């Protein structure tokens, strides 16, 4: 679903997704990590509670320099390639395997959305959450100048899984919808994949942003004696009402649009090269 190439066996599609997903993940981190750092500081670091995006950016540059924007990038740099390649591998394998009457059946009221897109998205999301949680924990602790502990690597797994399920399933649904209704635009070498992935990822992030905020809160140890629901109530009470849950949305939106757009361009190019090299031939 994430490419226009003629499909091979589902196992082969999974392996190809695993390979090209590494390119997607590493590109995403290289392009988007500075914005992710600013987002995390705004959400969870002491001293940045009331700082806007530009103030947080300038304060980080002033106190830590350029390297401060890439603090904590090592775990996601090698880890992003792993969990993003896994999510695409699992999605493509399940999507291709479900090329059956049931899998191709359309969900009523969704303008042609097939069952296999949703089920493959759920499977890919779960695989990603299992790998991503410890990496996100280590990254967030480093971004907020804290140390991380091995025994706490799965801190916040519940909220991470809920966030990832909402995020990636929505992303796959929107990409599929874009490809079906705007196929001629998606096939353009650069602009199509860039806009399709960038817009889909950004809309998905907007949907799950409160859970992303809570994940950062949990993994930094803010209010660690509280449940996630209690933390949300505290944030709403102390940080400007419901929209306090959307703190850090500015840098998060920029990061999402640019990193996912660029990453899809790279992955689409890789998918074409795989076909040109005959690696999909049976």
Whole-number Å distance between alpha carbons of 47 and 62:
14
Residue 173 has pLDDT above 80, yes or no: yes
> Which CATH number does 10-276 carry?
1.50.40.10
pLDDT of residue 167: 94
pLDDT-derived band of residue 169, with 50, 70 and 90 as boundaries?
Answer: very high
Q: Which of 264, 121, 260 is nearest to 192 (CA)?
A: 264
> 106 has which bridge partners?
114
Cα–Cα distance measured from residue 224 to residue 226, given in angstroms and rounded to the nearest whole number? 5
Most confident of 17-21, 124-128, 238-242, 263-267: 124-128
* pLDDT for the residue numbered 125: 95
Domain residue spans of the chain: 10-276
- Taking residues 127-151, what's their average pLDDT? 84
pLDDT at 141 over 70: yes
Q: Is the pLDDT of residue 281 over 70?
A: yes
The sign of the CA dihedral 160, 176, 107, 101 is negative
pLDDT tens profile 87-131: 999 999 999 999 999 999 999 998 899 999 999 999 999 999 999
Share of the chain above pLDDT 90, in %: 24
pLDDT value of residue 84: 84
DSSP letters for the chain: ----SPP--HHHHHHHHHHHHHHHHHHHHHHHHHHHHHHHHHHH-TT-TT--HHHHHHHHHHHH-HHHHTTT-HHHHHHHHHHHHHHHHHHHHHHHHT-SHHHHPBPTTSSS-BHHHHHHHHHHHHHHHHHHHHHHHHHHHHHTT----GGGTTTTHHHHHHHHHHHHHHHHHHHHHHHHHSHHHHTSSSHHHHHHHHHHHHHHHHHHHHHHHHHHHHHHTTTTTS-HHHHHHHHHHHTTSGGGGGTTHHHHHHHHHHHHHHHHHHHHHHHHHHHHTTTT--
pLDDT at residue 184 is higher than 70:
no
Tell me the mean pLDDT in the region 35-52: 74
Would the pLDDT of 20 be above 70?
A: yes
């Amino acid at each position: 679903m994430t490419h226009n190439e003629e499909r091979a066996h589902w196992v082969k599609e999974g392996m190809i997704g695993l390979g090209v997903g590494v390119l997607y993940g590493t590109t995403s981190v290289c392009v988007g990590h500075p914005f992710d750092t600013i987002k995390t500081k705004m959400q969870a670091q002491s001293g940045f509670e009331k700082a806007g995006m530009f103030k947080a950016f300038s304060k980080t540059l002033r106190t830590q320099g350029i390297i401060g924007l890439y603090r904590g990038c090592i775990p996601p740099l090698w880890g992003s390639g792993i969990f993003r390649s896994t999510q695409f591998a699992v999605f493509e394998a399940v999507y291709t395997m479900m090329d059956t009457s049931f899998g191709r059946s359309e969900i009523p009221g969704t303008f042609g959305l097939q069952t296999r897109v949703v089920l493959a998205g759920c499977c890919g999301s779960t695989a990603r959450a299992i790998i991503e949680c410890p990496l996100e924990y280590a990254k967030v602790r480093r971004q907020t100048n804290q140390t991380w502990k091995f025994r706490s690597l799965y801190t916040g797994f519940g909220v991470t899984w809920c966030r990832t399920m909402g995020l990636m399933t929505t992303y796959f649904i929107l990409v599929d919808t874009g490809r079906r209704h705007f196929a001629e635009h998606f096939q353009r070498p650069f602009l199509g994949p860039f806009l399709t992935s960038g817009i889909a990822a950004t809309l998905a992030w907007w949907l799950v942003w409160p859970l992303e905020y809570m994940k950062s809160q949990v993994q930094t140890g803010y209010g660690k004696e509280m449940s996630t629901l209690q933390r949300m109530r505290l944030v709403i009470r102390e940080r400007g009402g419901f929209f306090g849950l959307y703190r850090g949305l500015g840098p998060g939106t920029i990061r999402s649009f640019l990193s996912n757009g660029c990453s899809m361009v790279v992955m689409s190019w890789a998918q074409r090269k795989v076909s040109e090299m005959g690696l999909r031939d049976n």
